[in-house]
Amino acid sequence: MWVAGGASVHALDDIPEGTLWWVQGYDGNQPTGGFRVDGTLRIEAPDEPQPVGINLSSGRIEVGPTGEILVKYGPGGSRFINGDVFSEGLVSLKSVLLFSRDGAEWVNRGPIEAATYMGLGVTGKGAVFRQVSGEIRVADPSCRFEFYNESRFVYEGGKVFAQPLLVASSARVEADATQELSLRFLAQGSSFEGRFPEDLSVAVASDDTLGPASLWVTNVTSIEGLMELTATSGSPGVVVQWPETRAVLAPRGVVRVKPGAGLAEIRGGLALQGLLDVQGSARWTTSGESITNWGKIRVPSGGRLQASTRWVQAGGSLQVEGGELGLTDGLMIDGGTLAVAGTVSGSITNGALSVVDQAQPARVRGDWTQTSAGTLQVRVRQTSGEAETALQVQGPLTLRGTLEVLLADGVTLSRGAALRLVQADSLNGWFERLVLPPLEAGLHWRVVPSEEEVRLSVQDTPPPIRVEWISRDAGDRIRVSGPWSPETQAVLRVSGDLKTWTSVQRMSSFAGLTWFPVPKPSESGSDGLRVYRATLGPVGSPD
């Protein structure tokens, strides 16, 4: 049976194997019942610009293993199927096919092939395309699978060979099995449901024609695959909304913000265990819930991430590699590593490990506080007084914890070397522990006094300072011998009764303490006295 252009179809019978049926020029006004295709059903509009296709009144189209639906290219109008489809045979798309009935379902268990610039448009409101098994093969990345009007792509199995398969406009997409699948979302109003397996790749991209893109991720508890956001136009160029209950970016999962002219906006809470790679511009906002990172966040040169909520670094790493990080409500480093080789705007509290390098100084526009649990690690590449400071803080700097200095390959230390480590608008407190590179015999580290800079120099080692005190009935007396000047820095361990040692750091001479000379034990009148002695190094805390 074949139908010439312009004819009305009242019914289509089953199409036996080896038989060709041709539907041409059908305007869709006359419905037909369901039927089975074991041969070939060709849908074509070669001449007149009018729709051609099949409008089912009941049942469904069943394409058997030997059956084929061939949608031919031609200058005529649109091609469509308006009703349910169950396919095990081949669906060959030489032109775009519209699946257009509201609430209809297409269950695919066979191969679907799409030529260049061709594909499937699911336009029925709430319609479902369900990939159960079989293969979807497209000839070119320009092939599109487009979803409109709250339609859904349900992925349960089979293979999709496409780099990428384009899924556009308004759709909910479900992935229920771990298979090869690459999806691309364009325009606004799309949503994603179900599993997000390791080999699933989703791209959310703005488009000059369709405008900003948005993707709502709902009921997805673990993201194991790749999501790429590309904002080529508009502001915001793309929007990704995480579910109300916090989603998890699994250890192998990746969210990548690609370079683009627009802004990628990330909304909602997401526990990071995988990689967030911000190569373009992104803003992250949550509704009162903090951002927690156990994975890796990378902001390379050209990237910019603005976090408009409180941020907790619980583990993993946060690497600002020449890009910019903006912190509206601050960053708390409780674990892992913060490595800054770029610009950070906002408040930072370091209670773990922060790493800076003279090769690309860290610039912090805000306040920096290091707790007793924190370590600031500085890699030194130049030892001249004119070298650039590794950490530059435009705000107050409060120091406790540990300072660790590492030398880059090829850097040596000699007399007169100067290390410019940290500079701030104001400097409060001091490190409790210094981990410094070893020096040759006869040299020692010296902290250069400053109210706004942490700077070390290498000097000749002076004779040790000797502290002696004697406990006797008349009271304790102390004597200091050896070179002493207002610039001398040392750590004196002393208690109120001079018998129990505790750490008390002095940044200069012991102002406010009076040194009483006492007789040496060998002198007359020294019998019965208990003598305590301690040697103080010029810098650093004794063990």
241-254 tens-digit pLDDT: 887 667 789 999 99
pLDDT at 357 > cutoff 70: yes
Per the prediction, the chain carries an average pLDDT of: 78
pLDDT of residue 6: 38
For residue 323, what are the contacts with CB-CB under 8 A and spacing of at least 6?
Answer: 278, 299, 300, 301, 302, 303, 304, 305, 342, 343
DSSP of 131-189: E-SSEEEESSTT-EEEE-TTEEEEE-SSEEE-TTEEEESSEEEEE-S---EEEEEESS-
pLDDT tens-digit profile of 36-94? 999 999 998 877 777 888 999 999 999 999 999 999 887 878 899 999 999 999 999 99
199 backbone dihedrals φ, ψ, rounded to 5°: -95, 20
Confidence at residue 148, expressed as pLDDT on a 0 to 100 scale: 79
Confidence category of residue 209, pLDDT binned at 50, 70, 90: low
Statement: residue 365 has pLDDT above 80? yes
Distance CA(341)–CA(391), nearest Å, equals 9
Q: Is the pLDDT of residue 496 over 50?
A: no
Buried b (16+ CB within 10 A) or exposed e, 144-176: bbbbbbbbbbbbbebebebebbbbbbbbbbbbb
Confidence of residue 267 (pLDDT cuts 50, 70, 90): confident
In this structure, the answer to whether residues 382 and 433 fall within a common structural domain is yes
Shared domain check, 369 and 444: yes
Q: What is the pLDDT of residue 26?
A: 61
Q: Which pair of structure tokens corresponds to residue 122?
A: 């699911």
Q: Token digits for 80?
A: 């469509």
User: What pLDDT is recorded for position 271?
Assistant: 84
Q: Count structural domains, the chain.
A: 2
Q: Is residue 448 domain-shared with residue 353, that is, in the same domain?
A: yes
Tell me the CA distances in angstroms from 22 to 54, 382, 508, 522, one per residue in order.
11, 80, 98, 122
Q: Which residue range is the domain that position 483 belongs to?
A: 465-536
Identity at 175, one-letter amino acid code: A
409 and 471: one domain?
A: no
Do 351 and 454 fall within a single domain?
Answer: yes
Question: Which position has the higher pLDDT, 486 or 405?
Answer: 405
CB hemisphere CA count around 158 (13 angstroms): 23
In a domain, 25, yes or no: no
Q: Which of 184-193, 275-284, 453-462, 519-528 has the lowest mean pLDDT?
A: 519-528
pLDDT in tens, 121-133: 888 888 989 888 8
Angle at 464 between CA 476 and CA 472, to 5 degrees: 10
Query: Residue 355 above 90 pLDDT?
Result: yes
Q: Which two tokens stand for residue 454?
A: 């942490």
Same domain, yes or no, for 426 and 509? no
Provide mean pLDDT across the span 440-460.
Answer: 84
Structure tokens at 405: 């200095």
Q: Is the pLDDT of residue 328 over 70?
A: yes
**Which of the residue ranges 77-91, 438-452, 507-521 would you say has the lowest mean pLDDT?**
507-521
Flag the least confident range among 62-71, 97-106, 199-208, 478-487: 478-487
Q: What is the predicted pLDDT for the residue at 404?
A: 95
Question: Do 475 and 457 reside in the same domain of the chain?
Answer: no
Give residues with Cβ within 8 angstroms of 330, minimum separation 6: 310, 311, 346, 347, 348, 349
More confident residue, 152 or 391: 391
- Name the range with the highest mean pLDDT among 145-159, 162-176, 421-435: 421-435
440 found inside a domain: yes
442-447 — which CB contacts under 8 Å span 24+ positions? 443/413, 443/414, 443/415, 444/537, 444/538, 444/539, 445/538, 445/539, 445/540, 446/489, 446/538, 446/539, 447/489, 447/539
Across the range 5-14, mean pLDDT stands at 62
Answer yes or no: is pLDDT of 222 > 70. Answer: yes
Contact 364, 395 (CB under 8 A): yes
Residue of 467, 466, 446 lying closest to 455 (CA atoms)? 446
Boundary (domain end) residue, out of 416, 435, 461 = 461
CA pair distance 356, 374, nearest whole angstrom: 14
Q: Are residues 352 and 452 in the same domain?
A: yes
Instruction: Tell me which of 461, 489, 510 is where a domain ends.
Output: 461
CA–CA distance, 83 with 99 (Å, rounded to integer): 8
pLDDT at res. 158: 76
- Residues 473-485 have a mean pLDDT of 54
If you average pLDDT over residues 332-345, what whole number do you get?
95
How many C-beta neighbours within 10 Å does residue 403 have? Answer: 23
Looking at the structure, tell me whether residues 424 and 501 fall in a common domain.
no
Same structural domain for residues 357 and 456?
A: yes
416 in any annotated domain: yes
**Stronger pLDDT, 145 or 21, i.e. the higher one:** 21
CB atoms within 10 A of CB 247: 21
Pair (436, 453) in one structural domain:
yes
> Region 140-165: what's the mean pLDDT?
72
pLDDT on residue 171: 53
Confidence of residue 205 (pLDDT cuts 50, 70, 90): confident
Q: Which strand (E) or helix (H) includes residue 514?
A: none
Same domain, 376 and 433: yes
Q: What confidence tier does 480 reach under pLDDT thresholds 50, 70, 90?
A: low
What pLDDT sits at residue 4?
37
Per the domain annotation, does 294 fall within a domain?
Answer: no
Write down the pLDDT at residue 204: 77
Residue 475 confidence (pLDDT): 55
Q: What pLDDT, on the 0 to 100 scale, is given for residue 166?
A: 58
Give the confidence band of 498 by pLDDT, cuts at 50, 70, 90: very low
Given a contact cutoff of 8 angstroms between Cβ atoms, the answer to whether 294 and 270 are in contact is no
The last residue of a domain, from among 413, 438, 461: 461
* Average of per-residue pLDDT across 186-193: 58
Q: Are strands 465-471 and 477-481 parallel, antiparallel or unpaired?
A: antiparallel
**Residues 242 and 265: beta-carbon distance below 8 Å:** no
Q: Determine the pLDDT at residue 450.
A: 80
Residues β-bridged to residue 2: 22
Q: What is the mean pLDDT of residues 349-370?
A: 95
The confidence band for 315, taking pLDDT boundaries of 50, 70 and 90, is very high
Domain assignment of residue 113, yes or no: no
Determine the pLDDT at residue 467: 58
